[in-house]
Structure 1
Amino acid sequence: MPSKGVQVFTYIGVPDISIELSVPKQTITRRDQGFWSGSLEVEARNIDSFFNKKGRFTFKVFHRGNQITEQWIDVNALTGNASGGTMESIAETPSIFHDNFIISYGLYEAGPGHDPLPNQHQCYVTVTQNYTNWITNLAPPGSDFEKKPFHRLVLPSAHDVGMNSMESSAALLRKVGGAVVSTMLTRTDDKVCRVVDKLSGYPIELIAPNIIYSLSITQKDSLESMLRIGARYFEFRPARLHSSIRGRDALPDKLYFMHSAIPGMGYDTFLEGIVKFLRANKNEIIVVQLRWDGVPSDCAHPSSEEKKQYLEKAIRDHAGGEINVGNLDDMKHRTISELRRDKKRLLMLDSVDTLSTYTDDGNATINGQSIVDAFPRVLEDRGAQRRAGFVLIQCQATATNIQKALLHSIKDAGVTTSVLLATKGLCDHKTLPWCRDNVVDRCELGKTVVLMNDWLDGATVDVAVGLSRRRLAK
């Protein structure tokens, strides 16, 4: 009989939690802390209806037997499609904050399966403690850990933080239409251009919103939620709108995060959120790096004066005199205590050289194995680590660099079919355990380490905080 699989990846980081996974006539309950993966099968023979062969995949999270949440989607055992329920769209799966727990989750719809993408639906669920004040709790004021250098910390990072919603892109589409967006995509991204050429006559502009979702959206939580989950390092690429649409009143003429030429979060909105968080959480410290990788020249880059004006406005309007801005020298040489004493809790970097584990070939993967293989090769060069401003470990896959995967992402683009989301669980369950087991020994103690990921989740943060604790103890 026909069936459709759901591959599930879980991480439990706190005691007394259980995760119940179910499909018709099959239930799995996970209680052990740590990483786990397994599969459930929605089988037609287990669905009582003769005509309707949809079976519900559900996960429930319990704390000491009390249900915290239930999320579900219907899976058609005949066609493989998944629809309805609470996980039908990436935007409908925000992290859940409950008491002192955070539940992060997401679903990739595989449909009938397209090589080389997974042919099973992919669901990930992480349950960890609330890390709103993790640096405060790890290195409390007056503690021995607070006297240690800030660079001992391993900072969790949300990759492409500004691409966490369709707000800017949707406003742009409403004003100028999908044709202009598709022109922007093909003018600035050779990979997309080659794929579009293969789809001659295909109405790309009609599915422009779904293409943006599938290729550009890398986060789904608000900035405030990402900070509460535990992110403490952000890369931001501020630039003006593409010249083909600037001046057409599609969006306010200001600096936005740019994913190629696709606009995301406003730079002013980002800085305001960061400063407000730091003012509310008085012992936390955040690092922001400005850079412009992949931002085309058609998107005007800000001058030094403009960057200064944006930052000064955020500090003036929202810091209340409680936050000063630090720099790379502060990150490299000050203790946590000294940064707090001098109120330098926002460290701003600009195009600082890093030792990054990212490579175009290594991160062009579905299952993450080539990412893990690259980790030791990059990190074995201790001289390069010492010369770099800091070490950047990138756990996210860039499956959009695989042409067949990119083809399906554009042709079958939808709000649950993101090629980036397809790799989340598969990669995390290889990259994060490797980092947990190896970073302390393989990374220079005198360099800050950043742990970056798409779809920021509790497991990424939990691993980073555990590594920070071990590095501070040395």
Structure 2
Amino acid sequence: MGAWLSALVFRHTEPSDDASTKSAVPPTTNLTKGVQVYAYITVTNCLVEFSVPENTVSRNQLNACSSNYLVVENAKIPGLFKHKGNFSFSVYRHGIKLTHQWVEINIFTGELGNGTMNSPQYTPSMVVDGIIITYGFYNAGPGEAGLPSNNQCYVTVTQDCSRWMGEVARTGSPQAELPFSRFVLPSAHDVGMNDTQNTDIIFENATSKMAKVLNGVVPLFGELTETWAGVMAPEIAYGLAFTQKDDLETMLAIGARYFEFRPAHIHKDILPYSGLEDKLYFQHACIPGMAYDEFLHGCVGFLVGHPSEIIVVQIRHDNILAGCALPTPAELQTYMDNALGQASDPIACGTLDDMKSLTIAQLRASHKRLIVFPTTDVLSTWTKAANATLNGDSIIAAYEKLEPGQQKGHALTNLQCQATASEITDVLVYSVTSPKASTSCLMSTKAICDTKTLPWIRENALGRLQAEELIVMMNDFIDGATVDVAVELSKKRLNA
């Protein structure tokens, strides 16, 4: 992994579709739809190729993030009906194609047609030939509510980070004798909102019940869903609530090691009709994601197979509707006992005090490699005002307020990279009235914000956060670039 962000390079063939400037396709007699593309590579002999009809951009620079602008235009689309053209990207290593993803774009309507990238849940990251390829695609509308008017596509190509802790702090090394709190941990924001399976079941069985409950969260929802609940409710939920798109095993392979999980039961007004088992699920307001037992079993299984790695989990219950019954301490302990009891090798549950006071070697030796603790005092950069952004500038402004003394008394510092565009009223209204998973406002800001937040963290975080306390880097749609920054900073802290 390279310190790519220390010399971040941007190369634009046209102005970026940063929502703050709301760039548009230059005036032309042709029908067009723009695509802003971003690539980041740390693996040698790899190349990312982006293509539209009659135009291709290739990127193979190491340790640099590139941004380019492509246009799908009818004058360059072959055939009689010149209004649908394909956008695609391919990743090569040593000249061998590892993946090819594509989507058909209707330049007259902006709608997506056939392809492999027409919804976020169909764009899973992949482990191929020992590397991780993460990618995402945002289907832009006309630029309503300040959202981008150009489609967005990002691709990262990095090493498989299933064992990154063991590589940074090898067993028996001086680094392993240092406090665990020296690590900078990559984090998948709202880890449990990564799979629509449980939500799909509810919408199949209890759409009207879910819509009624959601109306208490999004008032516009009830007005719209009286007629269109069956069609619109799932798309609204997917566009506003799902912050990840990979399964837990893949997120861990990408490199995520810190998670916040919000376990609770299905809302009491939905449960009898839901078609789901009455157990603990990750809850986003009242929208269920990953089951808690599946999460714990996944973590334990990963740790058994990766004996140098350590996972940290904070249990939280904020932003859960009152109708979702919270677990008792005894219930949480039962879930943990069941998960640990099925491990083929000894795994113990560590505590917050263990995380704060023990060395990496001590945690490994005591088998306390799954650290779980309840809500604790965290220094977080997230605020409603700072993260309600379409361009990331206010997130950077929040970072700039960080000072060394602020860490005192906090268990950890959470640098949150993701924007919460749904907190912007106009964006929320647009998301509810024109709902599609492919137009998720969460995906719209992903690459735009990352190209600002990640360089800032890489260059400034360790100068501002000097206490020997854990640092977390949290992001939506966890990706190779976020992990690379965290791993590089971990190396610096462990070798200081």
Deviation at 1:166, TM superposition (A): 0.8
Say if 1:288 and 1:348, in contact at 8 Å, map to a contact too: yes
Q: How does 1:3-152 map to 2 (within 5 A)?
A: 3-33=32-62, 34-152=64-182
2:366 counterpart letter in structure 1: D
Structure 2 residue ranges without an equivalent (≥5) = 1-29
Q: CA deviation at 1:117?
A: 0.9
Per-residue CA deviations over 1:201-227 (Å, capped at 9, x if unaligned) read: 662443111111101111110011101
The answer to whether 1:328 aligns with 2:352 is yes
| Paired position in structure 2 for 1:419 | 441
- Cα distance, 1:249 vs. partner? 5.5
The answer as to whether partners of 1:20 and 1:28 remain within 8 angstroms in 2 is yes
Question: Partner of 2:331 in structure 1?
Answer: 306
Quote the sequence identity (%): 45
Q: Alpha-carbon deviations, 1:429-461, whole Å to 9, x = none?
A: 111111111112111340100000011111111
Report the counterpart of residue 229 of structure 1 in structure 2: 254
Determine the C-alpha separation between the residues in 1 that align with 2:442 and 2:156: 18
- Deviations for 1:104-147, whole angstroms, at most 9, x for unmatched residues? 00111113332311101111101000000100111111111111
Distance in 2 separating the partners of 1:312 and 1:346: 12
SS in 1 for 2:304: helix
1:459 paired with 2:481, answer yes
Superposed CA RMSD: 1.5
Aligned twin of 1:163: 193
* 1:401 partnered with 2:420: no
Aligned residues of 2:304 and 2:345 also touching (Cα < 8 A): no
Aligned residue number for residue 433 of structure 1: 455
Distance 1:32 1:205, change over 3 A: same
Which range moves more in the overlay, 5-14 or 389-398? 5-14
SS at match of 1:196: helix
What CA distance in whole angstroms lies between the structure 2 residues aligned with 1:261 and 1:323? 32
Residue by residue over 1:48-80, the C-alpha shift from the partner in whole angstroms, topping out at 9 and shown as x without a partner, is 334232111111111122211111111222222
- Opposite residue 185 of structure 1, the aligned amino acid is L
Provide TM-score, normalisation by structure 1: 0.95
Does the CA-based 8 Å contact 1:7-1:40 persist in structure 2? yes
CA displacement at 1:30 relative to structure 2: 0.9
CA contact (8 A) 1:364 1:399 kept: yes
| Cα distance change, pair 367–249 in 1 and its aligned pair in 2 (3 A) | closer
The structural deviation recorded for 1:82 is 2.3
Shift of residue 199, structure 1, vs aligned partner = 4.8
* C-alpha contact 1:152 1:468 (8 A) present in aligned 2: yes
Question: Aligned to 1:363, which of 384, 387, 411?
Answer: 387
- The one of 462, 465, 469 equivalent to 1:447 is 469
Aligned mates of 2:225, 2:271 — CA distance in 1 = 28
| Alpha-carbon distance, 1:321 to partner | 4.7
1:339 equivalenced with 2:339 (yes/no): no
Instruction: Name the aligned partner's letter for residue 24 of structure 1.
Output: P
Separation in structure 2 between the aligned mates of residue 59 and residue 271 of structure 1, nearest angstrom:
35
| Cα 1:128/1:54, change in 2 over 3 Å | same
Aligned residues: 466
Matched residue of 1:235: which SS?
Answer: strand
The normalised TM-score by structure 2 is 0.91
* 1:245-260 pair list within 5 angstroms: 245-248=270-273, 250-260=275-285
Q: Indicate the SS of the match to 2:210.
A: helix
Q: Distance in 2 between matches of 1:383 and 1:327?
A: 25
Greater CA deviation, 403-412 or 420-429? 403-412
Deviation at 1:383, TM superposition (A): 3.0
Contact 1:90 1:106 survives alignment (8 Å): yes
Q: Which amino acid aligns with 1:146?
A: A
Other-structure match for 2:6? none
**SS across alignment from 1:210:** helix
Q: Is 1:348 aligned to 2:378, yes or no? A: no
Q: Which has the larger displacement, 107-116 or 271-280?
A: 107-116
